[in-house]
Chains A and B, each alone.
Chain A
Amino acid sequence: QQPVQSPQAVILREGEDAVINCSSSKALYSVHWYRQKHGEAPVFLMILLKGGEQKGHDKISASFNEKKQQSSLYLTASQLSYSGTYFCGTESGGTSYGKLTFGQGTILTVHP
């Protein structure tokens, strides 16, 4: 089943913060976050593993709540370059090992 992302869209001014959530009804082994700009391929941001630590680089970080099967992506002090559609891809292990199931995406727009 497809994970559910919220919100569907976010509009920010430069320097503002945003949180994007990804929720699954299935037990998760890993969560992968990507950003996709219009007409381009998804770009890998980070991966969070079951039992792993919160990840982050620069002003983008993420967490994984195993009990709730939820992940959140945190964007702080947003820049114009952060604009795009953010997707979470979830992997549940077992027969789904290596197969990513993507959410419907969150459109993030950053204005000057």
Chain B
Amino acid sequence: DAGVTQSPTHLIKTRGQHVTLRCSPISGHKSVSWYQQVLGQGPQFIFQYYEKEERGRGNFPDRFSARQFPNYSSELNVNALLLGDSALYLCASSFGQGGADEQFFGPGTRLTVL
């Protein structure tokens, strides 16, 4: 079975631009969470979507938005990019919404903002 997939693998943008990152969860999983990982730190929670509804939001500005589609795939959008948005963006999928569910990470999208 395929694991969590993310696209693109790498992305280079300039300040002020917009970016869309994509994630496909493990087949049968209904929850997708997005995390930002800055070099040398642990992942930081951005959003969780379950059954196409936002179920949790981390401490990120409104420039960050996301959505989940009927097939449970998800997009993360970031507007007006800043240099500080440079990071590895990870998508994690789980069967359910809760803390008792194992979350499996995709390979991530490395975003560089110049």
Contact = CB atoms under 8 A, between A and B. Distances in A.
B43 A97 contact: no
A30 B102 CA distance: 10
Contact of B45 (A40, A44, A100): A100
A91 B99 contact: yes
Contacts, number: 75
Given A104-B41, A104-B42, A105-B42, A98 B106 contact: no
A41 B108 contact: yes
Interface of B: 31, 33, 35, 40-45, 48, 50, 55-56, 58, 90, 94, 97-108
B38 to A, nearest CB: 11
Given A41-B105, A98-B98, 18 more contacts: A2-B42, A29-B100, A32-B102, A32-B103, A42-B43, A44-B105, A47-B100, A91-B98, A96-B56, A96-B99, A97-B98, A99-B58, A100-B33, A100-B99, A101-B45, A103-B42, A104-B42, A105-B42
How large, as a class, is the contact surface on chain A? 20 to 34
Interface in A61-112: 87, 89, 91-93, 95-105
A19 interface: no
A80 B24 CA distance: 32
B76 to A, nearest CB: 15
A12 B83 CA distance: 37
Contact of B107 (A41, A44, A87, A101): A41
B35 to A, nearest CB: 8
Contacts of A91: 98-99
Contact of B90 (A32, A42, A44): A42
A8 to B, nearest CB: 11
